[in-house]
Amino acid sequence: MRIGLALLTLAAIASGCAQGDSGRIPPAGGQQPLDAPPARALDSYASKLRAAHAAQIVAAQRWGLRRVPLTAPPAPAKKPRIRTRQGFEVHGHRRRNLPPVFTTVPTRDKVVFLTIDDGAEKDPAFLRMMSDLKVPYSAFLSGYLIRNDYGYFEKMQDRGVVLNNHTLRHRLMRGLPYRTQKREICGMQRLIEKRYGKRPALFRPPFGSYDRATLRAAKACGIEYVPLWNEEVFADRWEYREWDRKLHPGDIVLTHFRGRGQWQGTMPDMIRRFLNQVTAEGYAVGRLEDYL
């Protein structure tokens, strides 16, 4: 009976923690500590869940969020098949097996993916905020913007963020000669591998602009995916690609490493706007690389 009660209690707690919609710690129910070894393990796990959810509430309050962010589901064991979005193909895309260009990951999970471009702003408050809230995101870095502070992005990587390719000098790629584009992409591959130990599999062309030479060069440099975006979030507004101006399961959201010099606000302001909206619409933030 004790184990059965513990399981029911644990299920209720886990459900409440996963939803995170109340901002309150679920009550323990006044039960006494359980004695049997399996029951003690369940009781200990339930205590850890309550403590973790309490920490989430504190972090959300500290950073001025309206609600605790929702917890993303586990990474899918079977990865979705990623195809190039219709209208985003280049000539010979499929025949040459060029990397897919996409704005949404095909999934039924109610998740969106946060991606951050370039590396211009290096706000320590942003790192603290994302670490406190445990929100996943992917970075797409340009070499000339990160060279004055490689350590900032090393801290990011230490927190589990994947550092991806956004070219060496953030040039408009479309129309450039193939060799020039290859230098931009392969050069950034080598830089990230040298500084951070791993060559990226993801590449985002600056401004979202590309042609067949871009994708040929990306493939030659070891790139497997070219994610673009369906929404873009700023410190003071959202912009949408789709006509309905809504989030959809699997949408990729773009933002930038920017501060008050370029925005009407800071990176933490942008994250507040982002999280308040996605949480209100019932979405969790997933890790893009987990679905690829």
Q: List pLDDT tens digits, range 165-221.
A: 999 999 999 999 999 999 999 999 999 999 999 999 999 999 999 999 999 999 999
Mean predicted lDDT score pLDDT of the chain:
89
* Percent with pLDDT over 70 in the chain: 87
What is the pLDDT confidence band of residue 44, given thresholds at 50, 70 and 90?
A: confident
**Cβ-contact 118, 170 below 8 angstroms:** yes
pLDDT in the model for residue 15: 43
Mean pLDDT of 70-74: 95
Provide mean pLDDT across the span 271-285.
98
Question: Where does the pLDDT of residue 10 fall: very low under 50, low under 70, confident under 90, or very high at 90 and above?
Answer: very low
Q: CB pairs under 8 A, 24+ apart, for 239-242?
A: 241/103
Q: Angle, nearest 10°, between helix axes 37-62 and 124-133?
A: 150
> For residue 76, what pLDDT band results from cuts at 50, 70 and 90?
very high
